[in-house]
Every structure is written in structure tokens, then in C-alpha cells.
Amino acid sequence: GKRGLLATLDFRMTTTCLFSDIVVPTAAWYEKNDLNTIDMHPFIHPLSAAVDPAWESRADWEIYK
């Protein structure tokens, strides 16, 4: 069948990006303030941005707003 519009948010060019109609660059882990969790542990790890996002990439939350 015919597929609809496929938009992908990713910080690297993956196979999914190759098949996407729109690719939105997101900031990598070290370029954004974020919270990280691991399923095996009950901990939340706060991450602080070490550098500004490269080029036109933005943090996921900035894209979703």
C-alpha cells in the first residue's frame, strides 16, 4: 500500500532517515540539557550541555514545542 508522510527526528543519519520525507536534526547528548534513565535501575541521570548544538540542530523539547 501507499505510505503517508514519514518525518524523523535523529542526531545522526540512520537508515530510517534515508527513507524519510523530512529529517529534523536533533542535538546530540552532549549538546542539550536532558534527563536520562536506564530501565534496569531506578535512577534518573541529569545531563548538562557541554557545547552548543551544531548547525541547525535543536534539543528534542525545542522541536516539540
Range(s) of the domain holding residue 24? 7-64
Residues forming beta bridges with residue 24, ordered by sequence position? 9
Model pTM greater than 0.75? Answer: no
57 located within any domain: yes
User: Do the domain assignments include residue 1?
Assistant: no
List pLDDT tens digits, range 7-64: 999 999 999 999 999 999 999 888 998 888 888 888 898 989 999 988 989 988 888 8
* Cβ atoms 22, 8 nearer than 8 A: yes
> Please, are residues 20 and 7 in contact by the beta-carbon 8 Å criterion?
yes
Structural domains in the chain (count): 1
Q: Using alpha carbons, select from 37, 39, 34 the residue that is nearest to residue 53.
A: 34
Distance of CA 21 to the CA centre of its chain: 17
